[in-house]
Amino acid sequence: MIIGIDVGSRSIEMVGLDNGSATVMERLPTTFDPLSQVRRALDLVRDGRALRRVTATGYGRKLVARAAADGELGPDLPPVEAITEIKAYGLGVAALAPEGRTVLDIGGQDTKAISLGPDGRVLKFEMNDRCAAGTGKFLEHVANVFQVPIEEFGQYAMEGREPLAINSMCTVFAETEATSLMARGHQPQDIALGLHASIVKRTVNMLGRVGLTHPLVFAGGVARNPCVVGLVAQALGREPVVPDDPDMVGALGAALHGTK
């Protein structure tokens, strides 16, 4: 089996390929001990199978590669190659949506906009990883302010009728703005819709800077948020392509790299 691991800031995804087909998919929270979680994920996919190649991507890719070299992930693990998320997403999208020419990935703590050529070749990319503004972590934080589970926050925002302007994308200041608007009697769903709209505005600007070409493939955990997907479609005038498992795209790409 060929394994791809995407070690992100919020979650770890793992894809196992047998004869080119994804036969295993696992997802675990990263926690404060990502190596223990990687070991858990590897134990889940081993199950008597021989691991031929392992490729890691994401924030923790180098950590995993070093741990494998030091024997911390098991004696039977082959050397782990580390590749960037940009390359992994290019390969993953090329397999899932070969017609895709631009990729939007909103993950736990960063946002990526990638322009692709044929076969997933990266032409240009832009990445925001300096703060959590406009990411899954941002949405998770403000969902807590509204006391709405993050899995339901997108649907909750879609109940809003008029998105209220949120001027700051800083997590702390955006929370202050939202709280102030609530205190003035505005509907919380309108505030939530405004927060989603501010994320999409920032995202669309990133896509413009890499040269948006359709079809756009929307990947990453936030692609499961129906409000963000709908607002992206509204802003661009065209529905994005959302894979069935949008948060597995990086791990799939890493696994596919191992087949080359």
Q: What is the CATH number of the domain that holds 210?
A: 3.30.420.40
Retrieve residue 119's tokens.
Answer: 């076969």
Beta strands in the chain (DSSP E): 2-7, 11-18, 21-29, 53-57, 80-82, 102-106, 111-116, 122-128, 216-219
Residue 135 predicted with pLDDT over 60:
yes
Q: What pLDDT score was predicted for residue 11?
A: 93
Rama region for 24: left / alpha / beta (φ>0; ψ in -120 to 50; rest): beta
Retrieve residue 207's tokens.
Answer: 């896509």
Retrieve residue 53's tokens.
Answer: 């190649």
Whether the bond into 243 is cis, omega within 30 of 0: no
Q: What pLDDT score was predicted for residue 129?
A: 59
Which domain range does residue 170 map to?
A: 99-242
Tell whether 91 is covered by a domain: no
Tell whether 178 is covered by a domain: yes
Q: Angle at Cα 247 formed by Cα 5 and Cα 105, nearest 5°? A: 105
Tell whether 92 is covered by a domain: no
Q: What pLDDT score was predicted for residue 70?
A: 93
User: For the segment 57-86, what is each residue's pLDDT rounded down to a tens digit?
Assistant: 999 999 999 999 999 998 788 999 999 999
Q: What pLDDT score was predicted for residue 120?
A: 86
Q: What pLDDT score was predicted for residue 179?
A: 85
Which of 82-86, 203-207, 234-238 is least confident?
203-207
Residue 165 predicted with pLDDT over 70:
yes
Whether 215 and 176 map to the same domain: the answer is yes
% residues pLDDT > 70 (the chain): 96
% residues pLDDT > 90 (the chain): 71
Tell whether 74 is covered by a domain: yes
Domain count for the chain: 2
Which of 33-37, 74-78, 119-123, 165-169 is least confident?
165-169
Q: What pLDDT score was predicted for residue 133?
A: 62
- From residue 174, give the alpha-carbon distance in Å to each of 150, 153, 154, 179, 200: 17, 16, 17, 9, 15
Whether 169 and 226 map to the same domain: the answer is yes
Retrieve residue 68's tokens.
Answer: 């494998």
CB of 107 within 8 A of CB of 231?
no
Res. 171 pLDDT band, cuts 50 70 90: low
Residue 138 predicted with pLDDT over 80:
yes
Average pLDDT of the chain to the nearest whole number: 91
Whether 253 and 235 map to the same domain: the answer is no
What is the model's pTM?
0.91
Q: What pLDDT score was predicted for residue 134?
A: 66
Retrieve residue 132's tokens.
Answer: 């959590």
Retrieve residue 126's tokens.
Answer: 């832009």
Tell whether 94 is covered by a domain: no
